[in-house]
Amino acid sequence: MNTALNLAYHAARAWIDGLDDRSVAATAGLSDLKQCFAGPLPPDGSSAQDVIRALVRDADAGMHGSAGGRFFAWVIGGGLESALAADWLVATWDQNAALYSASPASAVIEETAGEWIKELLDLPRDASFAFTSGCQMAHMTSLAAARAALLKRVGWSVEEDGLFGAPEIRVLTSDQRHVTIDRAVRFLGIGHNAIEQLKTDGDGRVSPAVLDGALSENSTPTILVLNAADLNIGACDPFKDLIPMAHSAGAWVHIDGAFGLFARASRTYRHLLDGVETADSWATDGHKWLNVPFDCGIAVVADRNAHRTAMTSNASYVAPVTIARDQLDWNPEYSRRARGVPVYAALKELGRNGVEALVDRCCAHCASIVEGIGKLPGAEILARPTLNQGLLRFVRPGASPGENDVFTDETIQRINATGEAFFSGTTWRSRRAMRVSVVNWRTSDQDVKRAIAAATSVLKSEAATPVD
Ligand X SMILES: *Cc1c(COP(=O)(O)O)cnc(C)c1O
Q: How many residues does the chain have?
A: 468
Q: Which is nearer to ligand X, 99 or 298 (CB)?
A: 298
Q: Is 236 in the site for ligand X (CB under 6 A)?
A: no
Q: Which of residues 70-89 bind ligand X (CB under 6 A)?
A: 75
Q: Which is nearer to ligand X, 52 or 279 (CB)?
A: 279
Tell me the site size for ligand X, rule CB under 6 A: 12
Q: Is 134 in the site for ligand X (CB under 6 A)?
A: yes
Taking the C-alpha atoms of 267, 71, 225 and 126 in order, what is their torsion angle to the nearest 10 degrees? -50
> Hey, how many other C-beta atoms are within 10 angstroms of the C-beta on 390?
29
Given a contact cutoff of 8 angstroms between Cβ atoms, the answer to whether 39 and 33 are in contact is: no
Given a contact cutoff of 8 angstroms between Cβ atoms, the answer to whether 297 and 131 are in contact is: yes
Local structure of 386: helix, strand or coil: coil
Given a contact cutoff of 8 angstroms between Cβ atoms, the answer to whether 431 and 425 are in contact is: no
Q: Of the listed pieces 34-42, 255-263, 330-338, 340-348, which binds ligand X according to CB under 6 A?
A: 255-263
Q: Find the shortest distance in angstroms from Cβ 284 to ligand X.
A: 9
Given a contact cutoff of 8 angstroms between Cβ atoms, the answer to whether 129 and 121 are in contact is: no
Q: Find the shortest distance in angstroms from Cβ 47 to ligand X.
A: 36
Q: Which is nearer to ligand X, 280 or 420 (CB)?
A: 280
Which residues are CB-neighbours of 69 under 8 A, at least 6 positions away? 19, 20, 78, 440, 442, 443, 444, 447
Q: Is 391 in the site for ligand X (CB under 6 A)?
A: no
Furthest-apart CA atoms within the chain: distance in Å: 74
Q: Is 390 in the site for ligand X (CB under 6 A)?
A: no
Q: Is 231 in the site for ligand X (CB under 6 A)?
A: yes
Binding residue for ligand X, selected from 87, 110, 237, 256, defined by CB under 6 A: 256
Q: Which is nearer to ligand X, 222 or 284 (CB)?
A: 284
Q: Find the shortest distance in angstroms from Cβ 184 to ligand X.
A: 10
Q: Is 178 in the site for ligand X (CB under 6 A)?
A: yes
Q: Is 258 in the site for ligand X (CB under 6 A)?
A: yes
Q: Find the shortest distance in angstroms from Cβ 273 to ligand X.
A: 13
Q: How far apart are CA 124 and CA 294, in angstroms?
A: 26
Local structure of 362: helix, strand or coil: helix
Catalog residues that contact ligand X under the rule CB under 6 A: 75, 134-136, 178, 180, 231, 256, 258-259, 285, 297
